[in-house]
């Protein structure tokens, strides 16, 4: 069933699944069926990549079938992420292969392509009633050590995956974040048709965080 909590409301209509995708902190205990887990990673693999390199790798830990890996990924997170991420049934790490396989030269687009794959995965997850929450708040070295990630591969982000839960289950501050209105920059701040805008009087570089 589609997640309809805190939809992104936009003046211009876009695919409904894009307005339903969000980064929840409340997760239901319900495990993710293996066939759906497979679907989200196949969706990731459908993404475009420079030279078709497919530089993405995913380490996965599920509470149900790979609890040791799950715990290692959880331990890499900052405490501010651990407090809510530990409720998710699946944790994952996106990893970039930093050199092209065909000539061993540095792949400057590896992280870009990993992000594309994870974004595609998140949309597929939403379509299946699941949600992904990506995180930068983790310690890459902890993951490198815990999993023996070799040189030439870089952890890019950690993410939760699961069915969204009841926001009421969260502590007050996180519940407020979960339900805070979701906004996006107007197009004029990031789409520059015809040329780069004049800086004076423009707000194109102001983040709205």
Task: Give the binding site for ligand FMN (CB under 6 A).
Answer: 22-23, 81, 134-137, 157, 182
* Minimum distance of ligand FMN from residue 196's CB (angstroms): 25
Among 92, 104, 202, smallest CA distance to 152 is for 104
Walk across the sheet containing 131-135 and list its strands: 56-62, 90-97, 153-162, 131-135
For residues 154, 117, 120, 10, the Cα torsion angle rounded to the nearest 10 degrees is 60
* Minimum distance of ligand FMN from residue 156's CB (angstroms): 8
Nearer to ligand FMN, 184 or 203 (CB): 184
* Minimum distance of ligand FMN from residue 199's CB (angstroms): 26
Nearer to ligand FMN, 116 or 134 (CB): 134
- Structural contact between residues 23 and 137, judged by C-beta atoms closer than 8 angstroms: no
Nearer to ligand FMN, 144 or 177 (CB): 177
Q: Which residue is nearest to ligand FMN (CB)?
A: 137
* Minimum distance of ligand FMN from residue 195's CB (angstroms): 29
Nearer to ligand FMN, 105 or 206 (CB): 206
Cα separation of 10 and 72, whole Å? 38
Nearer to ligand FMN, 51 or 80 (CB): 80
Task: Report the phi/psi class of residue 6: left, alpha or beta, with left for phi > 0 and alpha for psi in -120 to 50.
Answer: left
* Minimum distance of ligand FMN from residue 200's CB (angstroms): 29
Among 179, 130, 123, 170, smallest CA distance to 30 is for 130
Beta bridge partners of 154: 96
């Amino acid at each position: 069933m589609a997640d309809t909590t805190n939809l992104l409301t936009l003046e211009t209509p876009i695919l409904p699944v894009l307005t339903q995708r969000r980064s929840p902190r409340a997760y239901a205990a319900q495990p993710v069926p293996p066939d759906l887990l497979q679907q989200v990673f196949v969706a990731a693999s459908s993404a475009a990549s420079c030279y078709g390199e497919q530089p993405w790798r995913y380490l996965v830990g599920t509470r149900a079938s790979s609890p040791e890996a799950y715990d290692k990924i959880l331990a890499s997170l900052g405490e501010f992420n651990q407090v809510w991420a530990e409720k998710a049934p699946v944790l994952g790490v996106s990893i970039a292969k930093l050199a092209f396989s065909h000539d061993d030269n540095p792949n400057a687009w590896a992280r870009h392509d990993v992000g594309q794959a994870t974004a595609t995965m998140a949309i597929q997850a939403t379509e299946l009633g699941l949600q992904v929450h990506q995180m930068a708040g983790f310690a890459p070295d902890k993951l490198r050590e815990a999993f023996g990630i070799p040189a030439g591969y870089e952890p890019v982000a950690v993410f939760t995956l699961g069915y969204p839960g009841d926001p009421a289950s969260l502590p007050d501050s996180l519940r407020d974040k979960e339900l805070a209105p979701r906004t996006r920059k107007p197009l004029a701040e990031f789409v520059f048709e015809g040329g780069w805008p004049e800086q004076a009087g423009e707000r194109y570089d102001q983040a709205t965080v």
